[in-house]
Structure 1
């Protein structure tokens, strides 16, 4: 119990792509709303050298329903954000995270009758 593991510093993770605080806050906000609506139950975050991926699952044992990918190397071409579907097809690509999350957020809208 006396072993203290240091938190990785910026120097050790210089070659790793990740989400900044505001991006992760926006993604986790959507995740929380989808969980409360009963659509998602689990998530995974994969941080690699070239890509950072947030995967959302309906059930833990399935493939992810959606993957939100951040690829900074594509920033000036197609946009660094991509929304990937369950089958692996790219549903939306762009330069801003908010536009990428819009199709998923539309699932939360419900029609209210007077």
Structure 2
């Protein structure tokens, strides 16, 4: 049987995936450009790869609108929204860490 922590790390272990989910949790549905601007340092290629993986894992939904040019929006799925308590715990721990370190 797979270790639950290992499963979680495999799904979110990449720095960019965590930041993508954070932005979608905080900002709701976003277009590619919004995500790209909201994540400092990520390249378009890496963002595309990570979004595809999150979509494949069932955490992110991609909606394409039949317009010219096509409009594409990304949002968390119902399953993706279940990650919220994990991100709240990470925020709380990070805040405490920064306070303890005097940052």
State the TM-score bracket (shorter-chain normalisation): under 0.3
Q: Pick 1 or 2: higher relative contact order, CA cutoff 8 A, min separation 6.
A: 2
TM-score normalised by L of structure 2: 0.25
Which structure has the larger Rg? 1
TM-score normalised by L of structure 1: 0.24
